[in-house]
Amino acid sequence: MRSDWRQSTLGEFVRLQRGHDLTSLEQRPGNVPVMGSAGPNGTHDVARATGPGVVIGRSGASIGRVHFSSSDYWPHNTCLYVTDFCGNNPRFAYYLLSTLDLAKYNSGSAQPSLNRNFIYSMPVEIPGRREQDEIVEVLQTIDDRIDLLRQTNATLEAIAQALFKSWFVDFDPVRAKAEGRVPEGMDAETAALFPSEFEESELGAIPKGWSVRPFSHTVDIIGGGTPKTSIPDYWGGEIPWFSVVDAPAAGQVFALVTEKTITQSGLYNSSTKILPKWTTIISARGTVGKLALTGAEMAMNQSCYGLKSKVGRGETVTYLAAQRLVDRLKHLAHGGVFDTITRDTLGSVDVCDPPSEVINLFDSLTHTFFERILANAMELRLLIDLRDSLLPRLISGRLHVTAAMESVEDALK
């Protein structure tokens, strides 16, 4: 500890209170975030705590996880929330709490639970308010850039999704031509690829000349596998090995790094295969329907399928079509259990299959969006690693703010 920092306890640093009950029936539409043990969990129309705020997961799998709310919020009963920052910077409190192993203080009951009285005695080292503010400036500079990249990626994906829906679900270019209009935002060469009339099919009216076929007939389906966990030589190599825990967050699209890796021996001695970059992965068991595009070559486990377009291009079409497929499967399972996807499942849903010329054109138009998402995702990974490296050293006083800010400025150049 630096000489100008003081030794304290968590109970002197912040005051905590258990969150408030809010059932799904009581939850009403609004703009107030509901903060639970795993972070934001929907919205409500009434706040019970003033932002900025910090919550700590107090039960279940998210026990000890720390989350920040910049606005007024409703702290759910699955979390503890800070009611008094005791003169400390709220975001500094968030960063400091994030570095503590709070989960080990669970009450020890059958259901893991965090009691504020158990953690109040934890020792913490606290700088003065001015240095807290300076530390926050460094870390928030990184977090703001991370948030911007995530928002940009979500926007880019939403644009691609809207174009996919326009072309392949609502058939807007065909509808425009059928009504004697020029398709909006489309040049003559592109418009010429679309027919000007519809025909009936088992899916209803579809563009004339387009086909209806099972989804499984539009893609090559690739299976995965797991090397024997009892053989250490199969694990810890340089080949990323995807499982559902590696699925990207909503709007982030690409899988870049994986929790586990395998060796060449592990690859050769199991049923897993190398998936090329730009392969769509869909989780088929466990947490079903999670999607990712591979941002690099990687293998995967047997609880997932890889999907590759049968058309020369079509990587983005396959990914976006898989999103629509998952939505349809969830709708078909309404009231039932959506707990597995098999090859038969992929063959049970019919889709409208456009000509290859239209698929290739769509892919060429949207590939730029996805390439930017990938570039942003790679920058995100570097910034997250930088933040995670700086955070414990700044919070402990082992790294001075000036040196940390130099690292941040170099990363953002």
Residue 169's contacts (CB-CB under 8 Å, 6 or more residues apart) are: 324
The answer to whether 44 touches 20, Cβ cutoff 8 Å, is: no
Q: What percent of the chain has pLDDT over 70?
A: 97
pLDDT tens digits for range 257-276: 999 999 999 999 999 999 99
Q: Is residue 182 part of a domain?
A: no
Q: Is residue 310 part of a domain?
A: yes
End-of-domain residue from the set 87, 106, 126: 126
The confidence score (pLDDT) of residue 378 equals 96
Average pLDDT, the chain: 93
The confidence score (pLDDT) of residue 337 equals 66
Q: Is residue 197 part of a domain?
A: no
The confidence score (pLDDT) of residue 108 equals 61
Q: Is the dihedral of CA 241, 243, 245, 249 positive or negative?
A: positive
The confidence score (pLDDT) of residue 273 equals 96
Q: Is residue 319 part of a domain?
A: yes
Q: Are residues 247 and 347 in the same domain?
A: yes
Q: Are residues 2 and 104 in the same domain?
A: yes
Q: Are residues 222 and 345 in the same domain?
A: yes
End-of-domain residue from the set 126, 148, 165: 126
Q: Is residue 52 part of a domain?
A: yes
End-of-domain residue from the set 73, 95, 126: 126
Q: Is residue 372 part of a domain?
A: no
Q: Which amino acid is at 177?
A: K
Domain count across the chain: 2
pLDDT (tens, 9 = 90+) of the chain, 413 residues, equals 566 899 999 999 999 999 999 998 899 999 999 999 999 999 999 999 999 999 999 988 889 999 999 999 999 999 999 999 999 999 999 999 999 999 888 766 667 788 898 899 999 999 999 999 999 999 999 999 999 999 999 999 999 999 999 999 999 999 999 999 999 989 999 999 999 999 999 999 999 999 999 999 999 999 999 999 999 999 999 999 999 999 998 889 999 999 999 999 999 999 999 999 999 999 999 889 999 999 999 999 999 999 999 987 789 999 999 999 999 998 887 666 678 999 999 999 999 999 999 999 999 999 999 999 999 999 999 999 999 999 999 999 899 999 999 989 888 87
Question: Residue 333 sits in a domain of what CATH number?
Answer: 3.90.220.20
Coil, helix or strand at residue 30 = coil
Q: Are residues 345 and 236 in the same domain?
A: yes
The confidence score (pLDDT) of residue 57 equals 94
Q: Is residue 75 part of a domain?
A: yes
The answer to whether 62 touches 37, Cβ cutoff 8 Å, is: yes
Phi, psi dihedrals of residue 7, rounded to the nearest 5°: -80, 135
Domain containing residue 42? 1-126
pLDDT tens digits for range 12-40: 999 999 999 999 889 999 999 999 999 99
Closest-CA residue to 310 (of 395, 221, 239):
221
pTM: 0.88
Q: Are residues 102 and 225 in the same domain?
A: no
Q: Is residue 340 part of a domain?
A: yes
